[in-house]
Amino acid sequence: MNPIILILALTAAGCIGLAFWALYGFIREVPEADRDYQDPLPYGLRMIWPLVNVATHLLGPRLTPDKLEKAHRELQTAGQDFVLSPEQLYGLRLVGAGLAAAFFWVLLLMLDKDKVGLYVTATVLGLVIGWLYPSLWLSERRKRRRRRVIKDLPTFLDFITMSVEAGLNINGGIEQATRKGPNGPLSQEMMRFLRDVRSGLPRSEALTRMAERMDMSQISSLTSALIQADRVGASLGATLRAQAAQRREERFLYAEKLALEAPVKMMMPLVMFFFPLIFLVLGYFIFLRMKQEGVL
């Protein structure tokens, strides 16, 4: 072997090894995120969490308050504010962009493509998809959370109404509803409301915070009605019963809307997958019949 080639190969291997060693040392110096008071991470996030921690350490101090406030709002409405902090969300976006771009590069290498334009396009596409994927994930969690709240809200209101009419105040009624009602995002938010009240926050402000966290018209209407009834001294039982009837009617109308949308949503799969198979099978028998008759 040529000594020059051997020296160059050893030099390149040494540079790569030193780069990995420096990266490993940098990752070790990054402080671990304190997750004692946060929810457990999903499985996919646990696999890439060291990278997210490094990206958060690099990107977090450079974020403006407006961006952090917007990210915190997205996490709150999706119910993930105890899973990720705003800084960690941006770190996840950065890691997702890098991993998606690397995936497209590996895919092109496996396909044995050597055009520079393809790699540039793959890099841009991977960065965009990887950066936007956490937002899509939060959007999906937000939709799932809202569907669950719409489903559970009438049941919770029935429990609260019965408790209030039995002699408890609104706080006691909500506590009984969280104990007896179904577990889910609504139960978690009501428990947070109770913690806010027990920590000394006025009930009206705690209700307002709950409505802001959930960002749903149903919850905003409920909290406004409770705050108004509390201020003017109206009957809470009648207010809650009216709210329960209205929420149940809205849930029925929402289910009816989904049922009416089902045929429209089924049209595209039918046209793309089901109808072509039918035409293919029918065309095959027509072809056989025409061949038997001597037409073909």
Nearest Cα to Cα of residue 157 among 54, 270, 237: 237
Structure tokens at 23: 């990266």
Confidence of residue 133 (pLDDT cuts 50, 70, 90): very high
Q: For residue 295, report the phi and psi dihedrals to the nearest 5 degrees.
A: -70, -35
pLDDT digits (tens, 9 = 90+) for 137-181: 999 999 999 989 988 888 888 888 888 888 888 888 888 888 888
Q: What confidence score (pLDDT) does residue 46 get?
A: 84
Percent of the chain whose pLDDT exceeds 90:
16
pLDDT digits (tens, 9 = 90+) for 84-106: 889 989 999 999 999 999 899 88
Q: What confidence score (pLDDT) does residue 248 get?
A: 86
Confidence of residue 125 (pLDDT cuts 50, 70, 90): very high
Confidence of residue 296 (pLDDT cuts 50, 70, 90): low
Confidence of residue 203 (pLDDT cuts 50, 70, 90): confident
Angle among Cα 284, 286, 292 to the nearest 5 degrees reads 105
Q: What are the contacts of 209-212 at 24+ separation with CB within 8 A?
A: 212/76
Q: DSSP letters along 200-264, please?
A: T--HHHHHHHHHHHH--HHHHHHHHHHHHHHHHT--HHHHHHHHHHHHHHHHHHHHHHHHHHHHH
Asked if residue 54 lies in contact with residue 28, where contact means CB atoms within 8 angstroms, the answer is no
Asked if residue 69 lies in contact with residue 25, where contact means CB atoms within 8 angstroms, the answer is no
